[in-house]
Structure 1
C-alpha cells in the first residue's frame, strides 16, 4: 500500500515529498507551478476509477487509502477534468456482459456525482468542462476503453453517446468486432473490420472521438484515413523509448497523427515509458507463464507468484524526466499542439514513475516542463488546450452532420 504526503503552501518554494514503500523521491515545486495547476483546466484523458470501484467499491468523493485518485488528491493536484475510463475487459468481448458492464460503470460515475454534487459533475461537452471549472467542480467526462459494448449495432453507439461517452478506444488487448489490437498476434481484420470502418464514420457524425490507443498499426492508419476529424491516442507513449512495443506509437505514426490534427496523451506507466521497465514487464510475463506451467494456476505457490516476483525482481521505475522525454519527443516531431496527458492512473498498478505516483502530482509535471523551458502558454496547451481543441473540432463537425 502506498501513501502520499504532500505539503503545499503557495507563495514560497517548497519540496513536495512523496513517500512510498521502499523509496523516497522529492522535487522542488515552485509557486508558479502550483498556480498553473490550480488556475487552469487539467484534462487527464484516461483514469481507471470506474473499474477500480467495480473491483472493490470505495468512495472517491473522500480521501482513500489505496488507488491513485480521490477528491482531495485531485484538488491538491489541480485535476479538474479527468476522463473516467469505462473499461471493458477483452474477456467479455462478444458477450452481452460487455454492454452490461459498460452501463454499470457509467452508473457508478453517476452515483459518485449523486453523492457529491458540490464536488463532481458529469461533463458531456467542452462547454460543460469550462462551465464546471468556473464553478469549482471537477468534471467527469467519460471515455469507453474497448468498443466491445457496441456489439456491432449502431443503436448501441447512440445509446452510449446519450449516456455521456465522448471517446471510444476501438479495441483493447484482443481483436474484437471493430479492430485488431496491438497486443494480439492474430490480425483478424488486417486493421479495422468492415463494421469498424462504418463505426468511425458514425462516431464522427455523433461527435465521439476516435481513440487509437491499443489498436494495431494497420488499424491506426485506416482510422485516420477514414476519420474526417482529428483522432486521439488517449493513453499511449512512444516506441522511440520502448523499441518493439507496438502498444506505443512510432515516429511515423506520430507524424501522421499530427497531420490529422490529433493529439497523443502520454501514458505515465513505467513499462510504457522506459526500455528497462518494458523489458522487465516482458520477462515477468514469460516467468509467470513458466511458473503457471510448472506449479499449476490454482496452487497457492502460483497465486503468491506476483508478490514474490516483485520483491525478488523489483521494477526499475521510470522517473518524471522519463515522461518529460516523451513529451519533448512529440514536440520535436510535430510541435507542442499535439501532446497532452493520459496518465492511466488506477490502471497500471504499482508501475507509476517516481514523482508522478497519483493525481496530486501534476504540479511536479508542470515544474518539470518549466525546468525544460516550456512557456506558460505551451504548458496550458499540454494540460488541456490541445485536447479541448480536438474535442471542439469533433463537436463542430457533429453539429453539421
Structure 2
C-alpha cells in the first residue's frame, strides 16, 4: 500500500512523468481511495457556502463573548476544524445568513455585523490554525502556512437594508460575495422560493446594487434568485457571476432554486462559475418529492398538536416519521451534477458549494460532513477526471473567476 501511495504521488506530482495522463477510472477501489485522499490533502479546496456562523449564533444565543469550541470535533453540524482538516477543505466561505423574517422585523444589518464578529473570533482565538481571507492570494498564503482560511459572503442582500452605501460598508468589513435574495423577495430582487414576483426581476435599487458590487469587486451570487432576476443580473453585470451553492435543474425539473442549462450557459458565457451544492433535494428528484411529502405531513401534524419544530416531542416524532421514507442519495450524485456542467460548457465553469450546516439531514451518503470531500474526488476519478481537472473544480476555477472580478473593479 505504501508503494502504491508513493507511485500515486509520483504520477500526480511530476507533470513531466509519462504516467500523468493515466486513466484513473481503471484503478482499483483501494488505489482510487488512496489517490483521492492524497489529492484532497495537497490541493486547495474552496467551498462556496457554509452556514456555520448562524449555527454558532444559535448555540451561543447570539452572545459574541460566549465560547464556541470550533477547534475540536463536534457531534452536531457538518464542520469543525478537525473534520475540515481530515477532508482537506481549506477555504469554506462563511455565510453571513440573514433570514427573510428580518426583512419584516428589521435588524438585518445588526445581525450581519454580529455574525461577522463571530467568524472573526474563530481566527483571533486560534491564530495558529485559522485565518481570515479576503482574496485568492490570502487563501494561497494561508494554505502554505497550514492555516484554515475563513472567507465570508453575505447570504441575502437584506443585510444592506435600503442603503446602497452598506454594500461598501460590508466589503470593508471583509465580505467578498453577496447572495442577492434568500427565501423571500427583498428590496433588491425576486427570490426563487417566492411566487410573488414583486419586481419581475431586479428592482431599480437592485440594479444599482449590482453595479456597486462590480465597482467594489464583490462577487455577485445568483443562487436563490428567479430566472428573470438572473437574466437581469447577467445583462447589467460587467463582471463574471457565480452561483455559490446551486445544483443542476435538469435533475430536478421545475425546481427554480437549481440552475437551468440556459443559465449555466449564460454563466459560462460571462466567465463565471456554478458551485454544486450537496443537499439531497437539490441532487435527486425522487428525494425531493419524498422530502416534500414528509414536510407537508409534519407541518400538518405540528399544527394539530400545537407544537413547533423545536419542541423535543416534535423532534422525536420527526426523526421517527422520516426515518425510512426518503430514498437513498449517494455522493456519486454530486459528481453527476458536476459532470453535467462539464459536458454542457466545459471544465472551467464548475466548483463546489456544499451548503453544510444549511441543509439539515438531507446530505447524501458519503458526504455527511467536511471530512468527506475525498469521496467527491474519488467519484470524479471513477468518471475519468484528471488531477488537473479536479484541481480546477476544487479551487482554480474559483480563483480565476474571483481574480477576473477584482480586475474588472480595478478598471472601473
User: TM-score when scaled to structure 2?
Assistant: 0.88
Q: Which of the residues 307, 314, 317 maps onto 2:328?
A: 317
Q: Which of the residues 30, 33, 52 maps onto 2:33?
A: 30
Structure 1 residues 309, 11: closer, same or farther in 2, change over 3 A? same
Structure 1 position 65, deviation (Å): 1.7
2:394 is the counterpart of 1:383: yes
- Superposed, 1:173-184 pairs within 5 Å as 173-184=183-194
CA deviation string 1:1-45 (max 9, x = no partner):
xxxxxxx999389xxxxxxxxxxxxx7553321221111110001
**Aligned-partner Cα distance in 2 for 1:367–1:172:** 32
Structure 1 residues 66, 301: closer, same or farther in 2, change over 3 A? closer
Partner of 1:231: 241
Partner of 2:126: 116
Partner of 1:250: 260
Partner of 2:219: 209
Structure 1 position 276, deviation (Å): 0.9
2:350 is the counterpart of 1:339: yes
**Aligned-partner Cα distance in 2 for 1:390–1:367:** 25
2:362 is the counterpart of 1:351: yes
Deviates more, 1:372-381 or 1:151-160: 151-160
Structure 1 position 305, deviation (Å): 4.5
Structure 1 residues 276, 36: closer, same or farther in 2, change over 3 A? same
CA deviation string 1:128-180 (max 9, x = no partner):
11111111111100011111010121221111101111000000000011110
Aligned residue pairs, count: 380
Partner of 1:20: none
**Aligned-partner Cα distance in 2 for 1:141–1:302:** 36
CA contact (8 A) 1:79 1:359 kept: yes
Q: Which of the residues 149, 172, 175 maps onto 2:182?
A: 172
Q: Which of the residues 274, 282, 290 maps onto 2:300?
A: 290
User: TM-score when scaled to structure 1?
Assistant: 0.90
Q: Helix, strand or coil for the counterpart of 2:149?
A: strand
Q: Helix, strand or coil for the counterpart of 2:358?
A: coil
Partner of 1:186: 196
Structure 1 position 301, deviation (Å): 6.5
Structure 1 residues 65, 292: closer, same or farther in 2, change over 3 A? closer
2:134 is the counterpart of 1:130: no
**Aligned-partner Cα distance in 1 for 2:5–2:50:** 30
Instruction: Give ranges in structure 1 of 5+ residues lacking alignment.
Output: 1-7, 14-26
CA contact (8 A) 1:235 1:264 kept: yes
Partner of 1:156: 166
Q: Helix, strand or coil for the counterpart of 2:399?
A: helix
Structure 1 position 105, deviation (Å): 0.5
Q: Which of the residues 383, 393, 396 maps onto 2:404?
A: 393
2:71 is the counterpart of 1:61: yes
Q: Helix, strand or coil for the counterpart of 1:50?
A: helix
CA contact (8 A) 1:317 1:351 kept: no
**Aligned-partner Cα distance in 1 for 2:39–2:112:** 34
2:23 is the counterpart of 1:11: no
